Structure 1
Amino acid sequence: MSEPRRPRSREGHEPRSREDYARGLPDHHDPTAGIGGAAPAQSALTLRLVLATFGLVVCLGAAVLWLVSDLPVWPAVVLFVLAAVALVDLGVVIRRKRRGEPG
């Protein structure tokens, strides 16, 4: 008999563990590895998290301030949409960090 299989994710791939990310993902080749002593590139998830949080706070604050003024409403709607995009991005980044992706 064969070994039992690990459960597969929605995409049809086996779920990755923290150790998989620590070892490096398969089929990745860095042609500049070992040249010049440069550190390997890292994902910028933490930076993306900070920028999305900043965008969410700024867009929400500006939209609320815009609504309390006597100015047209459509710019506030645009700011609320941008805040929603930042909120979705926050969710994606947090999900990826909880999965154990570096960065």
Structure 2
Amino acid sequence: MSQNDPERGREPVPRARSGAFGRRHPRTGTEPMTAQSPLGLRLLLSGVFLPLFAGAAAFFAVWAAQAVPGENPARGPLVIAAAVCAVLALLAAADVAVVVRRLRRERGAVPSGR
């Protein structure tokens, strides 16, 4: 990170304000004031499914590339399966990035760039 990084030296942000803009609406539910999102579980699940979906996308793409006309399953459904798995892998990667950013922001940890 550079010396002019705006995140450097900031105080940890409480989870109640850890969204992009903090709490958007007043609390209306009966959940406790200290309720927290299970960021650790989200990180674990995204970390497990990211390589799983990426591997499945590669597997279906290779299978579709080697498909011979008249073979069952046909090439079309294999390409669709590869595309769906690729989209799910991208969503898992985005979730990992969001969760890591929120955890760093809450803990006030700034990774060193040296």
Name the TM-score, length of structure 1 as normaliser: 0.58
Secondary structure class of the residue paired with 2:14:
helix
Residue 37 (structure 2) aligned to one of 33, 43, 57: 43
The residue that corresponds to 1:21 in the other structure is 14
**Contiguous gaps of at least 5 residues in structure 2:** 1-9, 18-22, 68-74, 108-114
CA gap 1:73/1:44 in 2 versus in 1, 3 angstroms: same
1:55 Cα offset (Å): 1.5
The residue that corresponds to 2:52 in the other structure is 58
**Contiguous gaps of at least 5 residues in structure 1:** 1-15, 34-39
The residue that corresponds to 1:6 in the other structure is none
Number of aligned residue pairs: 79
Separation in 2 of the partners of 1:48 and 1:32? 20
Q: Which protein has greater RCO, CA pairs closer than 8 Å, 6+ apart?
A: 2
- Amino acid paired to 2:45: L
Q: Which runs of 4+ in 1 moved over 2 A?
A: 24-33, 40-43
* Aligned Cα root-mean-square deviation (Å): 3.2
Secondary structure class of the residue paired with 1:92:
helix
